[in-house]
Amino acid sequence: MKKFIIERELPGAGNMTEEELQAISKTSNSVVSVLGKPYKWIESYVTKDKIYCIHEAESEDVIMEHASCASFPANRIEEIKAIINPATAD
């Protein structure tokens, strides 16, 4: 599977309560369980007005299907081509 980063514009995301974030997580998990395609949600990062998600899927189309079924925005989707970190420099 390919790895993608998804930018979701959600005004006020950084002010969401723990319960609201939990509800979003439950919705995503529910959709993944019935999607019928290989799919894995890795993790997400919440900022002031956006959520950036790392997902694994076969294609961008499957990412869009997940977003549509969950009623989540998917304003930008980029396939991750490489991962670097401080250890990459060694």
DSSP characters for 34-81?
Answer: HS-S-EEEEEEEE-SSEEEEEEEES-HHHHHHHHHHHT----EEEE--
The pLDDT-based confidence of 21 (bands split at 50, 70, 90) is: very high
Q: Write the DSSP symbol of residue 5.
A: E
Task: Please check whether residue 90 lies inside any domain of the structure.
Answer: no
Q: What is the DSSP string of 78-90?
A: EE------GGGG-
Task: Please check whether residue 88 lies inside any domain of the structure.
Answer: no
Task: Please check whether residue 87 lies inside any domain of the structure.
Answer: no
Task: Please check whether residue 89 lies inside any domain of the structure.
Answer: no
Q: Which domain holds residue 17?
A: 2-82
The CATH number given to whatever domain includes residue 57 is 3.30.70.3090
Encoded tokens for 15: 């002010």
The pLDDT-based confidence of 90 (bands split at 50, 70, 90) is: confident
pLDDT tens digit string along 33-68?
Answer: 999 999 999 999 999 999 999 999 999 999 999 999
Q: What percent of the chain has pLDDT over 90?
A: 98
**Nearest CA among 15, 31, 17 for reference residue 67:** 31
Total structural domains in the chain?
1
As a whole number of angstroms, the distance between CA 35 and CA 9 comes to 23
